[in-house]
Amino acid sequence: MCRIWKAAVILCAAAMLTGCAPQDASYERTEELFGTFVSAKIYCDDAKNAQAALDAAFARAGELECIFSPNIADSELNAVNAAAYAQDTAVSEDFLYLLEQSLYFTELTDGAFDCRLGELIDLWGIGTESAKIPTETECRNALLPSGDTTVSIHADGTVRFLDERVQLQFGAIAKGYIADEMKAVLDSFGIESGTLSLGGNVLTLGEKPSGDAWTVGITDPFSPGELYATVRVKGKSVVTSGNYERYFEENGVRYHHIFDPETGFPADAGLVSTTIIADSSLLCDALSTATYVLGAEEGMALIEQLDGAEAVFLTEDGEILTSSGMAEYELKQVTK
Ligand code: FAD
Ligand code: MG
């Protein structure tokens, strides 16, 4: 139940680095949220403040999970999906914000990012025990007209679906938003240095206490226990979408969880991993998914037209493609 969301605190001890200045004390916590692990490591010279900051940041994450989770029966997402075709439905401020952001990214990506795919996602069931390839008819029936004409947001903040098949889901953007919100909470406690990891989505706060950049690894989709590259960032988010996160295989074909909204099938545009680096974790999350669908040419063109966003793509042939500003982040291929 939402009010008593359970989170296992695996690690909450402070670890003093011997010989370090007081501000180098680090505090870590990992909790299970959103079906994955969320970890925070922060640097602070006040133990009480650090623990209070972590408590508040994880409480905010838990609150947002209760809004956006498809897996919590009484989440706001499930309530809105059940009600909004039949009637104008009031939504929370967080819900409205993420819906508006999602519709913005649908427009920006020419429909490659689409938060209305709940029915299609359930049909495939990827990541669940009932995962299966739907029939072409089932798939076609779940496809929605492109654009945002099937979701109406009214001036009073209520929402209405204009097509019975619309089921919202924020799997490709919510973790980004939640990371940004956790950062805002940590900021409010004066935490200037640390890292957040939400199932592989990384957000860095400022720089290391040493003044150095953070090194962030990018998973090798051909060997998911390893990295294929690293980047170095200060105060940026680094978010990756890949075909190795959730999938099943049948007759040698991999069916993964990132869908092309035009076909209703897993995106197959020649990329196996897309990483975006920017200030906003929400933007990184939305665009890592969207560029995966768009493919190298269109995906990179989109990133090049945006200020402050950079990208690293890995193609199915193992080629690494980078946007024009990537040099700043010292991309290094991991040699094996
Ligand atoms: P991303 O590339 O960022 O997103 C892929 C996901 O977005 C897909 O899984 C699908 O849901 C959706 N999607 C697919 N194609 C598109 C598209 N073209 N446009 C837009 N969206 C698309 N998982 C569990 O197993 N158990 C849980 O209890 C659970 N709870 C969750 C609670 C919340 C609040 C959220 C946000 C997710 C939860 N998940 C849960 C899902 C899980 O963590 C997902 O694997 C994750 O959100 C997908 O993120 P990603 O970074 O792997 O991939
Ligand atoms: Mg995403």
For 290-324, write each residue's pLDDT tens digit: 999 999 999 999 999 999 999 999 999 999 999 99
Helix, coil or strand: residue 218: strand
266 Cα to the center of ligand 1, angstroms? 14
2 has pLDDT over 70: no
pLDDT at 251: 87
- For the CA of 200, the nearest atom of ligand 1: 51
Residue 7 has pLDDT above 80, yes or no: no
How far is the CA of 187 from the CAs of 54, 84, 93, 211, 331, in angstroms? 11, 35, 21, 18, 28
Question: What pTM was computed for the model?
Answer: 0.93
Residue 1 has which token pair? 């139940």
Closest-lying ligand 1 atom to the alpha carbon of residue 260: 18
* Cα distances (angstroms) measured from residue 169 to each of 76, 115, 177: 11, 5, 14
Tokens of 299: 């995906």
The values of phi and psi at residue 76, to 5°, are -65, -40
Q: Assess whether pLDDT exceeds 50 at residue 22.
A: no
Q: 221-271 pLDDT, tens per residue? A: 999 999 999 999 999 999 999 998 888 888 888 999 999 999 999 999 999
Predicted local distance difference test score (pLDDT) of residue 21: 38
Top mutation candidate among 67, 71, 276 for ligand 1, by most atoms within 8 Å of CB = 71
The pLDDT value given to residue 148: 65
Tens digit of pLDDT for each residue in 43-69?
Answer: 999 999 999 999 999 999 999 999 999
pLDDT digits (tens, 9 = 90+) for 266-288: 999 999 999 999 999 999 999 99
Query: In the prediction, which pLDDT does 149 show?
Result: 80
Computed on alpha carbons and rounded to an integer, the radius of gyration of the chain in Å comes to 20
Ligand 1 binding pocket (C-beta < 6 A) is 34-36, 65, 68-69, 71, 113-115, 117, 121, 127, 169-172, 174-175, 199, 201, 241, 245-246, 257-259, 261, 285, 288-289, 293
Mean pLDDT over each residue of the chain, to the nearest integer: 91
pLDDT for 140 equals 87
pLDDT (0 to 100) of residue 190: 96
- At residue 81, does pLDDT exceed 80? yes
pLDDT band, residue 15 (cuts 50/70/90)? very low
Q: How confident is the model at residue 5 (pLDDT cuts 50, 70, 90)?
A: very low
Cα 171 to ligand 1 centre (Å): 3
Query: What pLDDT is stored for residue 8 in this prediction?
Result: 31
Give, using CA atoms, the residue closest to atom 11 of ligand 1. 171
| Cβ-proximal residues to 150 (8 Å cutoff; 6+ apart), any chain | 116, 144, 161, 162, 163, 166
Q: What is the mean pLDDT of residues 327-335?
A: 96
Q: Ligand 1, atom 7: nearest CA belongs to which residue?
A: 172
pLDDT in tens, 91-144: 999 999 999 999 999 999 999 999 999 999 999 999 898 899 999 899 888 898
Q: What are the tens digits of pLDDT across the range 177-218?
A: 999 999 999 999 999 999 999 987 999 999 999 999 999 999
Nearest-atom number in ligand 1 for the CA of 75 is: 34
Q: Is 86 exposed, middle or buried (0-12, 13-18, 19+ CB in 10 A)?
A: exposed
